[in-house]
Amino acid sequence: MDFNLRPYQEEVVQTALRGENSIIWLPTGGGKTRAAVYVTHNHLETTANAKVAVLVNKVHLVDQHFAKEFKPYLESRCKITAISGDSNEKDLFGRLVKASDLVICTAQILENALINMEEEKHVELTDFTLLVIDECHHTQKESVYNKIMGRYVEKKLRKEGNLPQILGLTASPGTGGNRKLDKAVDHVLQICANLDSVIVSTKNFTPVLQEVVPRPKKHYDIVERRALDPFGDHLKSMMSMIHEIMPSTVSRSLREMGTQEYEADVVELEKTENRLIAQCALHLRQYNDALLINDTVRMVDAFRGLDEFYNSRKTKLLDGTDIFLQGLFDENRMELKLLALDDRYENPKLARLQRTLLDEFSDKNSHGILFSKTRRGTHCLYDWVNTNLALLRVNIKAGILTGAGTGANHMTQNGQKETIQQFRVGVLNLLISTSVAEEGLDIPECNLVVRYGLLTNEIAQQQASGRARAMNSVYSVVAEEGGRDLRRELINEYLESLTAKAIDQVQQMSPREFRHKISELQQIAVLIRIQAERKKDERKQRYSPGQAQFQCRGCFLPVCSGEELRKIENTHHVNINPEFVRHYRTGGQVFLERSFEDWEPGQVISCNKCGKDWGMEIRFRSVVILPCLKIKNFSLKTPGGKSTPKQWKDVEFQVKEFNFLEDMSSLESFWKIYLWRSVLIL
């Protein structure tokens, strides 16, 4: 079997071929996955009772690695199974592992199987002889990768045998945000400790690698600050009027309008129990979003977002605060619209972006990616491209690529695949994407990558830059002179070089020094993990369920207590009180691409009083329909005060597991709940 490895690939796999744990560090497009396929093939050929798991951090990568890399080379040699959250087979993971030589799955699937004690679903780390961890720089902090490797390290320190070999793959471990070499070295060492691996890269064939993965030409397309911005100024004057009805101590604490810092401030204020402050903060966030959109794309896009928000609020006015806030927009709506349509004050960055696109797409064979920060931003840019006559004349055919999910502006997994396929065959030649396209996705070579209002770290910058790997490709940064985008990009350039220096310093350590440092870091990590688990358990027991009272985040209406809640599959938090149905109304049906073993989605639910989104109903075991709640949309009141947890794991009481026999023991309650939505079932 001919793998056609390049010399630098042959060099970086040597440590793994000796059966040692290693991290392969190669740039995007350098062939890390092909190297992993080669190591896997060798491992299966030379290891008794070999069993390999390839772990990825995104669902779409399961099929991608299976179809593009592992299946073509290994299908005739071994039994391969690809399993993701979309797979109905995931619920039989333990059985599938026993029946397979090679399993490709999301890390979460393996994590679920490690903690599930049902025989059909459970696996042990020692069931495997090799773990391949894709994008392994994510093996840190609370990531799923690090939870898995945390167990591995604990077993190693307890000297438990038969642990699998580890092979990590990354384009950049990064510096952890550190700007000094010694701290960057510490970060790289921590990644190595978490993965119990050395880090390897090419030393003898760097010129070959540079030829295969050429660096794009980098352009800083800088524009001057907008001289006049009457639309933005008018938004700020309206925001100041909202500040005036808030307590002065609160309004004075807010930072500069139109910044991410201001957004962070008002998001925190939304959590307060004072409804006037919370509602003002909600509206100020909309105005701040409009300022950010105004700074990135067109004024009309910013106006349209505000207009849609206030149109959706007209029927939800509960008190004088709501009436004032709605009236403020309604009184200023026409003036804002006229200003938004005045092209004398349009965003100068768009003119610069237009020139960049025209320069590159004068070549009919051009393919490019335009990176934007938000899903909404990608849709605004898509509208701009498709209404721009100059861009249409050079035959730009744009498509949107955003993260998968069920919310507004999310794409489905199939939608992602279809868009990338259209880009591959030339139906589309420009992807307008959020950061989802930076890492992992199998996107064809591009001759243009544009960063447009997307601030990320050095890892993401390297991933994005690596997309521009066609010959004579261009990596463009469109930014305002002296602006934060430009500063962040320059910092990332420095951090990229610092990463290389840190890795080199780690590689120059003597084996003894390296092992000593790694062992020390692993012991510290285990102690920290044990202490964190202890604190987590203590926090969960702080209050009894009956002491936790839930209020709607929109109108502060008390709706239930923690006693009424149950956990299903340790994930879904449902209310089992039949009376709870009186607090909410149902909306559209929720559609998910994948199916689940014991439940299926129902309709969205929202507060009966103010319309705040609360989550959705789920139909459990084809029998009972239960409201499944999003904790972030509720305020929680305990003897310790009020809080607004972002995730269920943050609540300070223990939610009981759902027990079908116990919780449905009363026929009266059962039929009440069953009949809540019986019409929907029919």
pLDDT at 471: 75
Contact 94, 119 (CB under 8 A): yes
Give the tens place of pLDDT for each residue, 251-262. 999 999 998 899
Q: What is the dihedral of CA 205, 207, 213, 216, to 10 degrees?
A: 150
| Close Cβ partners of 159 (under 8 Å, ≥ 6 residues apart) | none
Would you kindly state where each structural domain of the chain is located, as residue ranges?
A: 7-211, 230-345, 348-504, 545-675
CA atoms of 307 and 286, how far apart (whole Å): 10
Q: Identify the burial level of 397 via C-beta atoms within 10 angstroms of its C-beta, where 0-12 means exposed, 13-18 middle and 19 or more buried.
A: middle
Indicate if the pLDDT at residue 417 is higher than 50. Answer: yes
For residue 652, give both structure tokens. Answer: 């300070």
CATH topology of domain 230-345: phosphoenolpyruvate carboxylase, domain 3 (1.20.1320)
State the alpha helices, DSSP H only, in 159-298. Answer: 181-195, 206-212, 230-244, 248-252, 260-269, 275-296
Q: Average the pLDDT over each of 26-35, 113-122, 168-177, 536-545 and give the range with the smallest value.
A: 113-122
Indicate if the pLDDT at residue 456 is higher than 80. Answer: no
CATH number of 545-675: 2.170.150.30
CA atoms of 625 and 63, how far apart (whole Å): 33
Give the amino acid at 197: S
CATH number of 348-504: 3.40.50.300
Task: Give a three-class secondary structure readout of 612-662.
Answer: CEEEEEEEECCCEEEEEECHHHEEEEECCEEECCCCHHHCCECCEECCHHH
Q: How many residues does the chain have?
A: 682
| Close Cβ partners of 250 (under 8 Å, ≥ 6 residues apart) | 269, 277
Average pLDDT, the chain: 90
CA atoms of 208 and 213, how far apart (whole Å): 9
Number of helical H runs and strand E runs in the chain: 26, 24
Residue 447 phi/psi, 5-degree rounding, is -105, 0
| Close Cβ partners of 348 (under 8 Å, ≥ 6 residues apart) | 223, 224, 226
CA distances, 87 to each of 33, 448, 597 (Å): 22, 35, 10
pLDDT at 670: 45
Would you say domain 7-211 falls under CATH 3.40.50.740? no
Q: Which long-range contacts (CB under 8 A, 24 or more apart) does 637-642 make?
A: 637/548, 637/549, 637/550, 637/551, 638/542, 638/543, 638/547, 638/548, 638/549, 639/543, 639/547, 640/542, 640/543, 642/273
Proportion of the chain in helix, strand, coil states, percent, rounded to 5: 50, 20, 30
Contact 263, 281 (CB under 8 A): no
Give the tens place of pLDDT for each residue, 343-387. 999 999 999 999 999 999 988 789 999 998 888 999 999 999 999
pLDDT at 482: 83
**DSSP state letter for 258:** T
pLDDT at 325: 97
Contact 626, 670 (CB under 8 A): no
Nearest to 583 by CA among 603, 562, 612: 612
Indicate if the pLDDT at residue 669 is higher than 70. Answer: no
Give the tens place of pLDDT for each residue, 520-576. 999 999 999 999 999 988 999 999 999 999 999 999 999 999 999 999 988 899 999
Nearest to 51 by CA among 170, 169, 163: 163
